[in-house]
Structures are given as C-alpha cells and as structure tokens.
Copies of this chain bind each other. A is one copy, B any other.
C-alpha cells in the first residue's frame, strides 16, 4: 500500500483516490461523517442543490426491487443559501474535494446557482438527469441540443470545472456525451437512475407515491458499465462512473471500462461505511493484481 499511487485527475484537479460519493445518497456528509473520516475519500458530492428550498415528492419515496432500489425523492433540499452557509463549511473541514450537484428548474436557475457557488467548491456537477421532477431534470438530459445549450450556458457561470451528469434513459448515450463535450463540459458523470416502476399486486397501487422512480443499485450495473465504456471510447473527457458499485471489484470494473473515478450511491443506503469499505477492497484488488498506479488501469479493458 505504501508505493501505491491512488491519485487520479479529473479536469486538472487531483483526487487523492478515485472513490467518490454519489449525489443524494450521502446527504451533505453530516450523518456519514459520524461513521468514518470523510478525508478518506477522493471527493464527496452534495445532495442536489436548487435555488430555493425544495420539498420533494410525497412519500413513500423508496421501494426495493431485485438487486435494485427505486427512489422518488424529487430533489428535496434546503437551497443554495443553506448549502453555502452550513453544509459547505462543514465539508471543508475534511481533506477531500467537494462536488456540488446542482439541479435548477431552469437553465437560468442553474446559471444562478453556479454563479453563487463561485470558487467555493472544487467541481460543479450539473444534474440534467433526475427522473423524479417535472421541471428540469431528465427533460434537459435527453435531447442533445438542449444538453449542448445548457452545458454551454452554465459553463459560462462556473469558476470551477463543470461535470455534466448524464441520464441513462436515452437512445444514444454517446450522442449526449458528445453534446456535453461540445458545450464545454470538463468531465462527465454517468449514470443517473433508470426510470422504473413497482406495483403492489395486492393493493394494485404503485409503491411510490410518485408512481415512477429512479432505479439504482447492482441491477443497473451492466447498463452503467456499458455506457461508461461507450462514452470513454468516443469522448475525450474524464468520467466519474457509477451505478451499482457495491464492492472494490465493482469499482475496478468501471475504471477498466474507462472511468477515472467512481461514485458510490445506493451502497451508502445499505451501510454507512460503504464508500470506505469499497475503497479498502479496491486497494486489495490493486495489490492482488500488482497494480501500482490506478491511472494504469483507467480504460484498460481488453475488448474484442
């Protein structure tokens, strides 16, 4: 472990290791920081931030499916002011990079949030892929022209690298990724959740009050790995890969597919120490496979 180089580079910023938390599954760090030192992580991602506080969708907001989880939180959060005043200073106490996930209802709102964040965070992650809100969200993320447009306009207001978080609910992920790149994105996050539904066959009602929700967890991992691989081959931007990462080997799979860093989402709901556990297992994987530098295996899949 001593001569192991775990650092990776995302858009010119070095993360001490490639393990990141995924937005919305980590709160803003308060709770999970009671289980381990957040300085262990390469970066942490905030909950979605909107301009004003947002109530989110009515409960139930979660349903378990086979190897997956459906959620319909709907971006509940306390707004940008609260984030800057309370959450960010707390996160800054740790030696880790901070990614602010922003999810405005409109392009203008996203620009405004980016502006207010200024240089206070290390990255801005533009969420154009939330399937649980009527305005903004996935509606932005499925049309390449809109992706190009919104990326370009938000980019103008960012003082830090802009990560665009893509939706998997699209016909051609590469087309969307290319649009984000052309629009000026500095990195890409993928994937957000797949739109899904679960019905209670006895009551005949959908389990989620919102009817549909976003599917995450190991069930979606093959789709996520495939998308990371396709995008990595076709787009020259660093990728933060996510979707069902539950172990160190899962993290390795995404990195081999082409991700420069990986985010742990649903696993945080299963065990508060998940991201730390995954980091440790990933180190074991590296040691076992005699890999001295993580960067050596980024995109190193031997495809046919």
Q: Which residues of A contact B (CB under 8 A)?
A: 65-68, 70, 142, 169-172, 194-199, 201-206, 209-212, 215, 217-223, 225-226, 229, 244, 249, 252-253, 256-257, 285, 289, 297, 300-304
Contact = CB atoms under 8 A, between A and B. Distances in A.
A218 B67 contact: yes
A199 B225 contact: yes
In this complex, the member of A196, A249, A300 whose beta carbon has the largest number of chain B beta carbons within 10 angstroms is A196
Contacts of A226: 195-197, 212
B219 A253 contact: no
Nearest to A172: B142
Nearest to A205: B302
Number of this chain's copies in the complex: 2
Contacts of A195: 223, 226
A66 B219 contact: yes
Contacts of A170: 170-171
Given A142-B171, A197-B226, 20 more contacts: A66-B221, A67-B67, A68-B222, A142-B172, A171-B171, A194-B223, A196-B226, A197-B222, A197-B225, A199-B256, A199-B257, A199-B301, A201-B249, A201-B285, A201-B289, A204-B256, A210-B304, A211-B229, A211-B303, A212-B226
A60 to B, nearest CB: 11
A215 B211 contact: no
Contact of A303 (B206, B218, B256): B206
A2 B142 CA distance: 50
30 contacts: A66-B67, A66-B221, A66-B244, A67-B68, A67-B218, A67-B219, A68-B219, A70-B222, A170-B170, A171-B171, A195-B223, A196-B223, A196-B226, A197-B225, A197-B257, A198-B222, A199-B253, A199-B256, A199-B257, A201-B249, A201-B256, A201-B285, A201-B289, A204-B300, A204-B301, A204-B302, A211-B229, A211-B304, A218-B219, A219-B219
Contacts of A218: 65-67, 219
A232 B187 CA distance: 38
